[in-house]
Structure 1
């Protein structure tokens, strides 16, 4: 059961982060401030590292890191919401102020945090995986807080 749970969690969190990589790239293209472009680019790279780390973890434990969303997963609802949010970010922010772009990204991060919290609350996820998920959760929380602070500027 634990192996199945961690495989589902990894699949969803991987897909969430793959989508976030693209979302941050699109957000960086939309903002006008060079500082914001650079920071959003950093967040995109961070999510790409998350994907790489999680894929490595999956291989280490002999799990397949799928590119599709699981049907009955630990974090399906949250992951789907993040996916929809990031996929729609370009249409939602095109021509918007930098503040609006940051607000959209912050909303995506809030949903991502919920997905991670769902996984972290599971008793079937091994301690090693929880450590990785917790570290990524904390980094996403920092990003969300940065976005919240900077959207008001």
Structure 2
């Protein structure tokens, strides 16, 4: 396994995790009036994202890599689109939930690609697979909320 490929893949996932954290910050306080029960899950997902971020940074450092602790251009564009969409939709909770689901799905797809790439060392594969599973659980929670609204 080439270490540079592992580090590059981990940095990609770190950027996506940073997107997730920034995305959750945008959601903060926009859905609690309509979905107060979601607040506990949301708080747990924010904590989870921060742990995921720390774990990815540890893996990169352990491999002697340089940490790229930024977010992605696509994530920034998506957050900008959310702002525009919310400006026209009146910041409604349903639209916000849809945006969270979109972001979670994008993160799941990126993690799946990383797992299938063959670029991860065995220890990284274990951590990334666990994080992928956590993302899928988060996605299901928000997806169930969206279905209950329909």
Shorter-chain TM-score: which interval? 0.7 to 0.9
Q: Name which structure has the greater RCO, CA cutoff 8 Å, separation 6+.
A: 2
Distance 1:36 1:93, change over 3 A: farther
**Do residues 138 (structure 1) and 140 (structure 2) align?**
no
1:28 and 1:37 in contact (8 A); partners too:
no
- Residue 40 (structure 1) aligns with: 42
Question: Unaligned regions of 5+ residues in structure 1, if any?
Answer: 70-78
**Do residues 89 (structure 1) and 82 (structure 2) align?**
yes
| Deviation (angstroms), 1:34 | 2.7
1:30 and 1:101 in contact (8 A); partners too:
yes
Q: CA RMSD in A?
A: 2.1
**1:111 partner SS:** helix
Question: Unaligned regions of 5+ residues in structure 2, if any?
Answer: none
Higher CA-based Rg: 2
> After superposition, where does 1:1-153 map in structure 2 within 5 Å?
2-31=2-31, 32=33, 33-68=35-70, 80-93=73-86, 95-153=90-148
Give the structure-2-normalised TM-score. 0.83
Give the structure-1-normalised TM-score. 0.82
Moved more, 81-90 or 35-44: 81-90
Distance 1:60 1:20, change over 3 A: same
Cα distance per residue 1:104-152 (max 9 Å; x no partner): 1011111111111111011231111011110001100111111000123
**Separation in 2, partners of 1:148, 1:34:** 16
1:82 and 1:111 in contact (8 A); partners too:
no
